[in-house]
Chain A
């Protein structure tokens, strides 16, 4: 039986309120015991057969990170990303579990596509959990066969990437999904209010002469979907919250007992619409980077629990989509490999605590989606991420595992680097030392 010991690392596990130096013992892929290093007298024999020892002194050890919002592009857009390259990017970013959205080609609206994705992910070392489409072919007309999707392995439903314009259909999705206890993820956007906007509407869009997307495009649909969640009792998860109005609506809904959870992305938490000046197409995504008051509201939402999860909305695009005029460029940026470092920047700046950051990337997303993950309690699956908080690194295209390189942090030097990722007690990623 293989055993693994991780010694003397700083364990931060918000699910069990732990922050301290611990030794973690893993047996058969699960956590066997967690003991404070200082008082741990367990005898281990280095070199014993089947025993791996990782000396983690000076490193941060956290439950494997969970990202509830990625786009892996396969099937259909393999030139941007494949399940394999996406999974490798996830592991390099410290994520051991990722949810992938259904806007592939064909759309993941039936079991054969779901099974295809799962098959592609099999040997990756990363748990890839597909999100099924909410409507057939994401056309927003009729519901998908959710019993089939669930049985095949989908953990939620969403038409993410395409707003559900028909409020009646959204109502039925929230109702019907209750049979399977699957959350419905809302990409909350009124495309008619958003119009042909390409960035946040405000002083910056006016200065740059770019068409704006007002906050109301998001706020109005968040309000609609919260009303529908209250009506139906369904489980609603709001994707990529970007506005102050949406944060306020979600906070009030949670106070009223509506079953709603929410996520925010590292880029919406770290950058404002000022980043678009210079017309860098790697600052173009939907929803767009917003005004400073929106960013501040998101941060407050993260602090007070209104925003449950940090999710990347990892959206690979090739240079074909991005190396063009700003208003013609595709939306989206990759995020898996920079997420933790960007969020740690917020921790260092005093915006959120390390515990809040880890919770929003581990136990909170696990709870929001009913996953038995995100914790290093005894008996839990041994998914772990080891991070060197003091190691700075420069984001370079050639160093990224993702097939696409569309990140606004290209060339930036970030602090905190994932050095090892472990799933089921097995090391599946280790930072190559130069």
Chain B
């Protein structure tokens, strides 16, 4: 059955049943990617446009592969957003794309709230592939799928999200998602990168990495943007790594069967040591694999599945 919504803009407004529906659909689509012919005809004739205003390799590729494995036609548009060059407005771009009759626009944009704006401009579905520091719903869904696969259930788990919480859309979407599924989420990072009132999203917040790691079932490390050093969010990369970088020593505080996630791309030796990233607890590559399945499920549930019967 289709989701009763036109767009997927964030996890914040998803109901528990909707999250569960997407995850179980994704589980069933995983098998497609293991076939010799990695394709199902479900979305034949549908056009999906990847509209990316930020450089992205993995997310864009993942959405593109997902579309193609569902037999949809995927078109990529990369827009440079130099503030110096005044380009076409988002509204004009949206109206032009809509005139070509796509079924779905996947959008990534550095400005928070842009997917919502876009969804108001166009009649087709809009999927948020990351907007500013707001939300990145498909990432959170693939994280939830990865944890669910390994742990069986998410309720009751302790999830630690560590790093630059202030600028992270991944953190926000995961806080909403994991707490909705019954997990306890604690975020940790330097006070300079801890946004005001983050607890109101449903998590606990600390600046003490050890207390966040203590007893954690899942540790999610966030990518640190090296440029943040210039804005004095931390003095040096070296010191950041010393206090908030995850190494085997610090990881001992977590549960023995802890799993490590990272949305990628990773900065080896900065927020995560190579030993941990490549170690037995790391599910970083499983996340990438699950990303395709989750995005296939999103397309299917927005565009392909039958609408609710009898209505």
Kindly state the separation between the CA atoms of A209 and B114 in the bound complex, as whole angstroms: 11
Please encode chain B, from 135 to 179, with 1 for each CB lying within 8 Å of some chain A CB and 0 for all others.
100000000000000000000000000000010010010000000
Q: Would A208 and B113 be within 8 Å (CB), given that A323-B89, A324-B89, A324-B90 are in contact?
A: yes
B91 nearest in chain A by CB position = A323
A204 to chain B, nearest CB (A): 8
Asked if B196 and A208 make an inter-chain contact with CB atoms under 8 angstroms apart, the answer reads: no
CB < 8 Å neighbour of A210 from B89, B109, B132: B132
Asked if B198 and A206 make an inter-chain contact with CB atoms under 8 angstroms apart, the answer reads: yes
Complex interface: stretch among A35-43, A153-161, A325-333: A325-333
Please encode chain A, from 273 to 294, with 1 for each CB lying within 8 Å of some chain B CB and 0 for all others.
0000011000000000000000
What chain B residues lie within 8 Å of A208 (beta carbons)?
Answer: 112-113, 134
Asked whether A234 is an interface residue with its Cβ less than 8 Å from the other chain, the reply is no
Kindly state the separation between the CA atoms of A207 and B197 in the bound complex, as whole angstroms: 9
Asked if A209 and B197 make an inter-chain contact with CB atoms under 8 angstroms apart, the answer reads: no
User: How many A-B contacts are there with CB distance less than 8 Å?
Assistant: 66
Q: Would A201 and B112 be within 8 Å (CB), given that A207-B201, A209-B133 are in contact?
A: no
What chain B residues lie within 8 Å of A206 (beta carbons)?
Answer: 166, 195-198, 200-201
Asked whether B116 is an interface residue with its Cβ less than 8 Å from the other chain, the reply is yes
Please encode chain B, from 108 to 132, with 1 for each CB lying within 8 Å of some chain A CB and 0 for all others.
0101111011000000000000011
Count residues of B near A (Cβ-Cβ below 8 Å).
Answer: 25
Asked if A325 and B111 make an inter-chain contact with CB atoms under 8 angstroms apart, the answer reads: yes
Asked whether A203 is an interface residue with its Cβ less than 8 Å from the other chain, the reply is yes
Question: Which residues of B, 190-210, contact A by the 8 Å Cβ criterion?
Answer: 195-198, 200-201
What chain A residues lie within 8 Å of B198 (beta carbons)?
Answer: 206
Asked if A209 and B196 make an inter-chain contact with CB atoms under 8 angstroms apart, the answer reads: no
Kindly state the separation between the CA atoms of A207 and B166 in the bound complex, as whole angstroms: 10
Asked if B200 and A207 make an inter-chain contact with CB atoms under 8 angstroms apart, the answer reads: yes
What chain A residues lie within 8 Å of B166 (beta carbons)?
Answer: 206
Kindly state the separation between the CA atoms of A112 and B135 in the bound complex, as whole angstroms: 51
CB < 8 Å neighbour of A201 from B90, B109, B196: B196
Kindly state the separation between the CA atoms of A323 and B95 in the bound complex, as whole angstroms: 13
Q: Would A209 and B90 be within 8 Å (CB), given that A202-B197, A203-B196, A279-B117 are in contact?
A: no
Kindly state the separation between the CA atoms of A202 and B197 in the bound complex, as whole angstroms: 6
What chain B residues lie within 8 Å of A324 (beta carbons)?
Answer: 89-91
Question: Which residues of B, 230-289, contact A by the 8 Å Cβ criterion?
Answer: none
Asked if B112 and A210 make an inter-chain contact with CB atoms under 8 angstroms apart, the answer reads: yes
A209 nearest in chain B by CB position = B134
CB < 8 Å neighbour of B112 from A203, A323, A327: A327
What chain B residues lie within 8 Å of A211 (beta carbons)?
Answer: 133
What chain B residues lie within 8 Å of A402 (beta carbons)?
Answer: none
Question: Which residues of B, 64-110, contact A by the 8 Å Cβ criterion?
Answer: 89-91, 109
Please encode chain A, from 319 to 351, with 1 for each CB lying within 8 Å of some chain B CB and 0 for all others.
000011111100000000000000000000000
CB < 8 Å neighbour of A278 from B109, B116, B134, B200: B116
Kindly state the separation between the CA atoms of A328 and B114 in the bound complex, as whole angstroms: 11
Asked if A327 and B91 make an inter-chain contact with CB atoms under 8 angstroms apart, the answer reads: no
What chain B residues lie within 8 Å of A278 (beta carbons)?
Answer: 116
B83 nearest in chain A by CB position = A328
Asked whether A205 is an interface residue with its Cβ less than 8 Å from the other chain, the reply is yes
Asked if B117 and A209 make an inter-chain contact with CB atoms under 8 angstroms apart, the answer reads: no
A281 to chain B, nearest CB (A): 9
Asked if B196 and A205 make an inter-chain contact with CB atoms under 8 angstroms apart, the answer reads: yes
B59 to chain A, nearest CB (A): 17
Kindly state the separation between the CA atoms of A212 and B166 in the bound complex, as whole angstroms: 10
Asked if B90 and A325 make an inter-chain contact with CB atoms under 8 angstroms apart, the answer reads: yes
B140 to chain A, nearest CB (A): 14
A214 nearest in chain B by CB position = B196
CB < 8 Å neighbour of B196 from A202, A325, A326, A328: A202
Kindly state the separation between the CA atoms of A285 and B198 in the bound complex, as whole angstroms: 24
CB < 8 Å neighbour of A325 from B12, B113, B135, B197: B113
9 residue pairs A–B, Cβ–Cβ below 8 Å: A206-B196, A206-B198, A209-B172, A279-B113, A324-B89, A325-B113, A325-B117, A326-B111, A326-B114
Apart from A206-B201, A209-B133, A327-B112, list 11 A-B contacts with CB within 8 A: A202-B196, A209-B135, A209-B172, A210-B112, A210-B113, A212-B196, A324-B89, A325-B111, A325-B113, A326-B112, A327-B132
A residues within 8 Å of B by Cβ? 201-212, 278-279, 323-328
Q: Which 6 A-B pairs have the closest CB atoms?
A: A203-B197, A209-B134, A279-B113, A325-B111, A209-B133, A209-B112
